[in-house]
């Protein structure tokens, strides 16, 4: 019961925001229409039940006139039923796609805002494969949520409608062995049958919830590693790593298959029971009602009406038996979305709780009483007071693993762990260029202008930026959409990243080994280009080449302390 209440609370937390959103009027209208059509279908089933009695009584009595009239009535009811079923399906799908669209936009916005996705990964994101949760789980949540919700409503409404009919038809029956009578015995018989079936179904199929949860995770992991092999094909080929990748992928696929086989076994048991239960439910009402018919107490029409009413009641009470497999999958989806939402909330909390304060002062960059830590809380980088003047060129050095890149992340505002103050100039634009730039799969113009849209810059400016960094051969391909991360070499990708800076014109530029794939003359030429094109920009570089010293005015060094912390110290002018 506790798990059920927790699941219902999770469902409410995931589902309700849509019906309070800007799209709430359309969502509520569609939901109301789906509910109205479901109630209409239940009402039509009640009419069909009464029609059964009249129609088969007419057959038994050989009443031709009544037979023809009932055929016409059936035709009208059938047309209404078909229309209700068709439009209910159509409106369900409409609601599903609108609901999914809103949830996708909402989840993407929260996941991508202010580095939340990065912080989730840094702390060891428990919500594995967020891409799968957004792309697949949200769709399954909307689909199964609507189906199960309308199904439950239909089951309850049908139960309330047909219990009254069945109670009136059943009367009282004597139990021969006990010599007692039970009012509404058909209702109690249907209830007993359904309750026993529901208990048995849960006992047989409860393992499916966890197995479905694991299967979705294994499928997503397998797809993710296939994509990694595709994206890193060149490195794998150069290292002749295909056998190792094949073994790794097959190991993951073996895990996936093993779990799927466990699902097959559990599903086989559940399907076997459900199939037997369904077949038995066809004949069970006739077994219960037929003694009255053969005793001459009721006519054929009433027998069939009673059997139909019994079947409707029993079917409503057996709702969970019929949908248990879907319910198990849906509960797994709810658990995965709940885990994803909790991870997003934690990422947001880390951003708000960070003690790294970002200020605006008339400096290029200022670090005051700064301590940058690892997620565990262990100090990594420290600075008492460091100030870089506007338009200064500074080289940051230190041993590998000393925290240079982590310091850049803290300055950029995506690393939340630590305390102290980080100051940049008022209304200044900061840009970080990593060693391995991000190049999206899009047109070259979009990749060049990223993260701005391609039309944010004049066409001539895009071409000029490419020419300036030595990529003139690609100017004619600006509108070409291609897998540019695989077409461009690492050096060309770094040149493209530097071309972005010429377009964006940042006030503070952090270069994290952003020219490591270039030869030294090309590196010097590009640093000269930055100095000419962005003379007002404050430039801070990370690099290990000795030739970089001549390209900067100052050098800051991360010096290891006895406690393992790396403290920033000034290393003088004209770094060597």
Burial 268-305 (b: 16+ CB within 10 A, else e): eebeebbeebeeebeebbeebbeebbeeeebeebbbbb
Please report the sign of the dihedral spanned by the C-alpha atoms of residue 506, residue 508, residue 510, residue 514: positive
Chain mean position to CA 174: 57
Spell out the residues 6+ positions from residue 285 whose beta carbon is closer than 8 angstroms to its own. Answer: 186, 190, 306, 307, 310, 311, 314
- What distance in Å separates the CA atoms of residue 106 and residue 67, rounded to the nearest whole number? 57
> 396 and 346, same structural domain?
no
> φ and ψ at 540, to 5 degrees?
-125, 125
Of 443, 444, 501, 514, nearest in space to 472 by CA: 444
Count the neighbouring beta carbons within 10 Å of the beta carbon of residue 484: 22
Q: What is the count of structural domains for the chain?
A: 2
Which two tokens mark 273? Answer: 């029971």
DSSP alpha helix (H) spans, 295-391: 300-317, 319-353
Q: In terms of domains, do 327 and 375 share one?
A: no
DSSP 8-class letter at 213: H
From 352, 381, 403, the end of a domain falls on 352
Q: In this structure, are 294 and 175 located in the same domain?
A: yes
Instruction: Label residue 549 exposed, middle or buried (CB < 10 Å: 0-12, 13-18, 19+).
Output: middle
User: Hey, is 478 helix, strand or coil?
Assistant: coil
| Angle CA 85–89–93, to nearest 5 | 170
The residue among 352, 379, 405 that closes a domain is 352
What local confidence, expressed as pLDDT, does residue 352 receive? 82
Nearest to 503 by CA among 474, 466, 540, 547: 466
From residue 298, give the alpha-carbon distance in Å to each of 47, 188, 294: 20, 20, 8
Backbone φ, ψ for residue 318 (5° rounding): -95, 20
- The structure tokens 């991000």 sit at 438
Q: What was the pLDDT predicted at 98?
A: 94
Cβ–Cβ under 8 Å, residues 385 and 535: no
Residue 339 and residue 463 in one domain: no
Note whether 331 and 480 are same-domain residues: no
244-250: long-range pairs with CB below 8 Å, 24+: 249/222, 249/225
Mark which of 300, 326, 352 sits at the end of a domain: 352
| Local confidence pLDDT in tens for the 576 residues of the chain | 566 566 678 788 888 888 988 998 999 999 999 999 999 998 998 888 888 888 888 888 888 888 889 899 999 999 999 999 999 999 999 999 999 999 999 988 888 887 888 888 777 655 567 777 888 888 889 998 998 889 889 888 888 887 777 777 765 444 444 445 667 677 777 778 777 877 888 788 778 878 887 887 788 788 878 877 877 776 677 667 888 888 888 988 999 899 999 988 888 888 888 778 777 777 877 777 777 777 777 777 777 777 777 777 777 777 777 777 788 778 888 888 888 888 888 888 888 888 888 888 888 889 999 999 998 889 999 998 888 888 899 999 988 889 999 999 999 888 999 999 998 876 578 999 999 898 888 899 999 999 899 889 999 999 999 999 999 999 999 999 888 888 899 999 999 999 999 999 999 999 999 999 999 999 999 999 999 999 999 999 998 888 888 889 889 999 998 888 999 987 654 443
Judgement on whether residues 179 and 47 belong to the same structural domain of the protein: yes
Asked if residue 418 and residue 370 are part of one domain, the reply reads: yes
**Same domain for 325 and 453?**
no
39 & 164 share domain:
yes
The candidate with the shortest Cα–Cα distance to 410, out of 439, 375, 435, 440, is 375
382 burial type by CB count under 10 A (0-12 exposed, 13-18 middle, 19+ buried): buried
List the domain range (segments joined by +) for residue 550: 355-573
Residues 467 and 497 in one domain: yes
């Amino acid at each position: 019961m506790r798990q059920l209440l927790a699941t219902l609370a999770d469902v409410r937390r995931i589902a309700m925001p849509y019906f309070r959103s800007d799209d709430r009027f359309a969502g509520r209208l569609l939901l109301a229409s789906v509910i109205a059509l479901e109630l209409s279908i239940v009402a039509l089933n009640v009419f069909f039940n009464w029609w059964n009695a009249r129609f088969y009584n007419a057959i038994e009595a050989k009443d031709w006139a009544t037979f023809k009239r009932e055929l016409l009535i059936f035709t009208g009811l059938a047309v209404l039923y078909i229309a209700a079923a068709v439009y209910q399906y159509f409106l369900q799908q409409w609601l599903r796609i609108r609901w999914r669209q809103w949830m996708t936009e909402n989840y993407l916005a929260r996941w991508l805002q202010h580095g939340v996705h990065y912080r989730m990964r840094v702390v060891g994101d428990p919500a594995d494969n967020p891409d799968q949760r957004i792309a697949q789980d949200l769709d399954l949540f909307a689909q199964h949520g609507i189906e199960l919700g309308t199904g439950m409503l239909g089951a309850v409404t049908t139960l309330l409608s047909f219990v009254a009919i069945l109670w009136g038809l059943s009367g009282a029956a004597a139990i021969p062995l006990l010599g007692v009578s039970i009012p509404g015995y058909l209702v109690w018989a249907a209830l007993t049958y359904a309750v026993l079936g529901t208990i048995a179904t849960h006992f047989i199929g409860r393992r499916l919830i966890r197995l479905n949860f694991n299967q979705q995770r294994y499928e997503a992991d397998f797809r993710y590693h296939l994509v990694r092999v595709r994206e890193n094909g060149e490195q794998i080929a150069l290292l002749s790593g295909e056998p190792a990748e094949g073994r790794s992928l097959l190991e993951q696929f073996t895990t996936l298959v093993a779990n799927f086989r466990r699902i097959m076994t559990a599903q086989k048991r559940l399907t076997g029971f459900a199939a037997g239960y369904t077949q038995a439910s066809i004949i069970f009402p006739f077994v219960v009602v037929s003694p009255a018919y053969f005793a001459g107490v009721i006519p054929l029409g009433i027998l069939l009406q009673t059997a139909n009413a019994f079947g409707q009641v029993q079917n409503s009470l057996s709702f969970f038996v019929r949908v248990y497999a879907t319910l198990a999958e849906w509960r797994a989806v709810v658990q995965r979305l709940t885990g994803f939402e909790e991870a997003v909330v934690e990422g947001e909390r880390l951003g708000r709780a960070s003690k790294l304060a970002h200020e605006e002062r008339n400096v290029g960059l200022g670090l005051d009483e700064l301590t940058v830590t690892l997620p565990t809380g262990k100090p990594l980088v420290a600075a008492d007071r460091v100030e870089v003047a506007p338009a200064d060129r500074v080289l940051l050095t230190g041993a590998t693993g000393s925290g240079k890149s982590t310091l850049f992340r803290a300055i950029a505002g995506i690393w939340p762990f630590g305390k102290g103050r980080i100051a940049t100039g008022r209304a200044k634009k900061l840009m970080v260029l990593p060693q391995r730039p991000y190049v999206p799969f899009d047109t070259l113009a979009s990749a060049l202008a990223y993260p701005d849209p391609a039309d944010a810059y004049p066409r001539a400016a895009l071409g000029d930026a490419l020419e300036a960094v030595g990529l003139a051969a690609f100017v004619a391909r600006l509108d070409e959409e291609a897998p540019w991360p695989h077409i461009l070499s690492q050096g060309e990708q770094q040149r493209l990243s530097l071309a972005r800076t010429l377009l964006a014109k940042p006030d503070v530029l952090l270069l994290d080994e952003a020219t490591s794939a270039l030869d030294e003359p090309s590196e010097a030429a590009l640093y000269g280009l930055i100095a000419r094109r962005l003379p007002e920009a404050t430039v801070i570089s990370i690099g290990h080449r000795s030739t970089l010293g001549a390209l900067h005015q100052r050098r800051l060094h991360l010096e290891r302390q006895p406690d393992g912390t790396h403290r920033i110290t000034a290393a003088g002018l004209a770094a060597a």
